[in-house]
Structure 1
C-alpha cells in the first residue's frame, strides 16, 4: 500500500458517490505521493472528504478501482478473506453451488476478478492490475474457505486471455495455477451433463449466467420442435431435449462449439433428438423461412453484438434482424426466447428493438416472463456494468 493521495476534481466522482467502484482518468485533479501501478491509494473528494481506498493504474482509463469506502481499512489478508467468505456464503443461499460463479468482480467488491467453479475445478480471470497482484492470495483463501465447508478443489486454471487486459497494460495469459489436470471437466446443470473445456472454451469455458434461463425454457419444450440459434456448446438445445422435445436443431458458426455440442448430446443420450449444424445464423434463418419451416420454440442466444457505445447502431440492426427472422419461424401460438448479453444494449433499447421487429413482421407478443442473469452473477446497483443479461420469453401470435 502506498501513501499516495488522489484528489478528485470538483463535481466529479458522481458514479462513485452513487455506489459505483470506478474513477476515470479525467475525474482526477491531483495525485500526491509516490506509488507504483497496482498500488492501493487513498481517494479524497475535491474538498478533502475521504472517499475510500482503491488500486491505481495509470495505463487504464479506469484509473482507480475502489476496494473499500473505509479509509482506515487495511487491504490485507484478513480483509480479502472476509470478501471471499462473504461471496461464498451468498452463493450458498442463492444458487446451486456444484458449478457457479464464485467471484463476480465489482459486484463482489473484488474489482476486476472473476472466478468460476466447474465441479471441483476453479477457472480464474483477472482483468485489472491491482487485483492481479492479489490473485494468488485470493485463490488460496478461496480454496481454504471452500475446504472448511468440505468442498475440495483439485485444480485451478487461469483464463486471463481477454483483450481488455491490454487496456490495463497487461499481457494476455492462460495456464495452470495448480498442478496440471485434465481440462475437459464434466458438470451437471438442471439435470443435463456437459463437458466444459476450461482451456480453450469461450471466456471461462461455459456460460453459467444462463443457468436458470435454460431451466425456464424446459417447460415450453415437451413434444416441441425447437430451433436453438447461437447454441455454442448446446446448452439451451440440450435443456430442450432433456425436457422432452421431439426434435431440436442447434446452430452455431463455430465448428469447435458444434463438435462440443454433439459430444454433450451423446453424453446425455440425446443425440437422436438434438442435432447440430455449423452455419451462420444470419444466413440460415432466411433460408429456413423460404423453405417454409416452422418451430414451436425458437431460442436466440447471440454473442454480444456490441462491446462499446460506438457500435450500438450496428448492434441494434443485428438484434432487430435475428428477432424479426426468429418470429417468422415461430408457429402461431409458439414461443420465442430471446436475449442480449451486451451491457451497452440496455433493457430499454433491447425491449424497443424487439418491439420494432414484431411490428415489422405483424406479430403480437405476449410476454411470458422477463429474466436477467443467474443470482451468482449479482447485479450491484450503481455498478451498471454488472447488469448485462436481458432475457425474454414471449408467446408469438399472428395479428388477430
Structure 2
C-alpha cells in the first residue's frame, strides 16, 4: 500500500506553516490513496508543496499530527532513536533528571506521547492513535539511551487512561509494560521526599511541571505562616516547610491526596508543623476569613477549571473567586502565589482575571515574578497547547 497524500485547502494550514504540529479536519481539501486510521501520510499544500509527514486519524478533529517536515523521511527505528535521543539530551542540559518529563508530545516532535521519569521508573501516556503503535519501541529506545548514561530503568507503567483518548476512538488503558513492580515510587525533588503513586495518582502520578515554582515558594517561606490551597499530595506545602516556614496548612478536597500528603510530611520530618485538611477550598477560605485568619503566604494551585473553549466564562469566574478569597487572607505586605494550568486560560485572560480579583478584594499587587512550566515541559511556539502553566508571585498590599 502506497503512502496516502493529504492536500490542504487553499489558505489553510496556517498553524502548520508557523511551526505547529496539527492539521484539523476542516483544513483538508482531499485525501488520495488508501490508508487506515493511525497510518503515516504525506501532507501537501493546496499547490502540491510538501509540508511533511505525520499520522492520520479520521476519528479525531485533529486529523493529522506531524512527525517530520521531511516528506522523504521514513518513520523508522533510526528516526525514532534520533527523536528520543534529542529529547533526553535536552533534559540533561536544562533540568535535574532524577525525576523529570522526558518526552512532552508535540514539543518533542513525538505528538501525543508523554513519558515521565520517577527515579528509576518510567510512566508512559499515549494520547493519539498514530503514536500508539510506536510507544513500546520508543520506551525500549529510551531505556537503551539512558543505559548509555548508566541509568537502569527497573519498570515501566502505562497511564493511557485519560478521557482524551476517547476523542481519538481509543480505549482508556493502564497497566505494566513489561514486568510488574512496586508502583509506590520514592523520589526526591528540590530536596523534598515524596512517595509517588504511579498507578493511582493523578495523571502520571505527580505534577513535575511545578518543580521550579515549588522551589521559588520554598525560597520565599522562611519565617512565614503559609496556606497551601489545592495541595494535592503536599508539594508546595512541603517546599515551604523545608524552606523554613514556621507553620503550613495544606487544603485539598481529596481524602486520598490528603492521606498521601500526611505520609509525605512524615517522610520529611515536618509533620509537627504542617497540617493537612480535607475540605472544599471554596468553602474553607471564607470560613478562615470569618475567623479573621491571615497568612504571610497563600498558594493557589487549582486544577484546570476549563478543558475546552466552551467553558472559559465559568472558568474565569472560578479563578476570580478563588483569587479574591486568597487575597483576603494575605497579611498586608504578605505574598500570594497563584497559577492556572489550563492552556485555554491564556496569559492575557489569566492576568486580567487576577487584576479584577485584586480590585474586588481592595488589594494592590506588586509582581515579584512570573513563571511558566519547568523547562522539561518545553513550550513549542505555534503549538499553543504546549504552553499551559502560568504562575505569578505577588506581594499584596492593602489599599491605604
Structure 1 and Structure 2 fold alike (TM over 0.5): yes
For 1:381 and 1:61, the matched residues in 2 are separated by 21
**TM-score (norm. length: structure 1):** 0.99
SS in 1 for 2:220: coil
Matched, 1:226 2:264: no
Partner in structure 2 of residue 43 of structure 1:
43
1:74 aligns to 2:74 (yes or no): yes
Equivalent positions of 1:160-179 (< 5 A) are 160-179=160-179
Name the CA shift for 1:203/1:75 in 2 (closer, same or farther; >3 Å). Answer: same
The whole-number CA distance in structure 2 between the counterparts of 1:288 and 1:101 is 37
Q: Which residue of 2 aligns with 1:112?
A: 112
Question: Residues 267-278 of structure 1 correspond to what in structure 2 (within 5 A)?
Answer: 267-278=267-278
Tell me what 1:198 maps to.
198
Hey, what does 2:330 align to over in structure 1?
330
Give the TM-score of the pair, scaled to structure 2: 0.99
| Residue 3 of structure 1: how far off its partner (Å) | 1.4
1:87 and 2:82 correspond: no
Report the alpha carbon displacement of residue 37 of structure 1 after superposing the two structures with TM. 0.7
Verify: 1:10 aligned to 2:10, yes or no: yes
**Are the aligned partners of 1:194 and 1:267 in contact in 2 as well (CA < 8 Å)?**
yes
How far apart are the structure 2 equivalents of 1:121 and 1:370?
32
User: Which digits, 9 at most, give the CA deviation of each residue in 1:35-82, with x for residues without a partner?
Assistant: 111110011101111100000000001000000000111110000000
Question: Which whole-Å CA distance do the structure 2 matches of 1:42 and 1:208 have between them?
Answer: 35
Residue aligned with 1:110, SS: coil
Match of 1:82, SS state, is helix
**Rounded Cα–Cα distance in structure 1 between residues aligned with 2:399 and 2:80:** 57
Contact 1:2 1:39 in 2 (8 A): no
Distance 1:133 1:2, change over 3 A: farther
Is 1:389 aligned to 2:389, yes or no? yes
Displacement, 1:175?
Answer: 0.2
Q: Is the 8 A contact 1:143 1:153 kept in 2?
A: yes
Q: CA deviation at 1:2?
A: 4.6
Number of the residue aligned with 2:316: 316
Aligned length: 400
Range with bigger deviation, 76-85 or 219-228: 219-228
The residue that corresponds to 2:265 in the other structure is 265
CA contact (8 A) 1:372 1:389 kept: yes
The DSSP-based 3-state class of the residue aligned with 1:219 is: helix
SS of aligned partner of 1:211: helix
Q: Deviations over 1:325-382 (max 9, x none)?
A: 1000000000000000000000000000000000111100000000000000000001
Structure 2 runs not aligned, ≥5 long = none
Q: Distance in 2 between matches of 1:275 and 1:118?
A: 26
Q: Distance in 2 between matches of 1:391 and 1:311?
A: 21
**CA shift for structure 1 position 309:** 0.4
Which residue of the partner structure matches residue 236 of structure 1?
A: 236
1:279-318 to 2 correspondences below 5 Å: 279-318=279-318
RMSD of aligned C-alpha atoms?
0.7
Cα pair 1:2 1:41 within 8 Å, conserved: no
Q: Are 1:193 and 1:264, in contact at CA under 8 Å, matched by a contact in 2?
A: yes
Please state how far the C-alpha of 1:219 moved relative to its aligned partner.
1.8
After TM superposition, what 4+ stretches of structure 1 lie above 2 angstroms from structure 2? none
CA distance in 2, matches of 1:32, 1:192: 55
Residues 1:362 and 2:362 aligned together: yes
Q: Does the C-alpha gap of structure 1 residues 171 and 219 become closer, same or farther in structure 2, counting only changes over 3 Å?
A: same
Contact 1:2/1:40 (8 A) holds in 2: no
